[in-house]
């Protein structure tokens, strides 16, 4: 299927997608902050600059977009154009996710990945069940 916008416009649109302070990330941040959690954002000294760092609990939360991280869910669909480029890019992102997780765990950090599709599915419940699970995971010792 051909793209409905020009390649220049598509390039402009894709370059405008943020890697920090995304909609899903902001939802998790607001909900956890409202529950009294305090955290650091995008700590440069940690591998992968995790989205949320909870030094008190020695854990990090990474909020992943399903497309960019190649999640196996209904939100991920490989583009029909430049398939080789997108496969390589998404596979690099997946490999980087594994490397970052391993590097953080090697430094004794617990790592939780929250997926965009989980947030979308939780939207109709006001995010309460998902944020409850995140809170329980953060507060759990040695998980």
- Find the angle CA(46)-CA(52)-CA(55) to the nearest 5 degrees: 65
pLDDT at 124 over 80: no
Domain 18-139 listed as CATH 3.20.20.370: no
Model pTM score:
0.84
**Domain boundaries, given as residue ranges, for the chain:** 18-139
- Please state whether beta strands 52-54 and 40-41 pair in parallel, antiparallel, or not at all (unpaired): antiparallel
pLDDT tens-place string over residues 26-56: 999 999 999 999 999 999 999 999 999 999 9
């Amino acid at each position: 299927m051909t793209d409905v916008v020009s390649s220049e416009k598509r390039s402009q649109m894709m370059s405008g997608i943020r890697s920090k302070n995304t909609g899903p990330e902001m939802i998790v941040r607001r909900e956890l902050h409202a529950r009294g959690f305090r955290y650091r954002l995008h700590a440069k000294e940690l591998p992968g600059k995790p989205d949320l760092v909870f030094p008190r609990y020695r854990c990090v939360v990474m909020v992943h977009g399903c497309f960019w991280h190649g999640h196996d869910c209904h939100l991920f669909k490989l583009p029909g154009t430049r398939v080789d480029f997108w496969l390589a890019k998404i596979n690099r992102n997946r490999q980087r996710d594994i490397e970052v997780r391993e590097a953080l765990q090697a430094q004794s950090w617990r790592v939780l990945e929250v997926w965009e599709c989980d947030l979308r599915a939780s939207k109709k419940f006001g995010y309460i069940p998902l944020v409850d699970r995140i809170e329980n995971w953060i507060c759990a010792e040695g998980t």
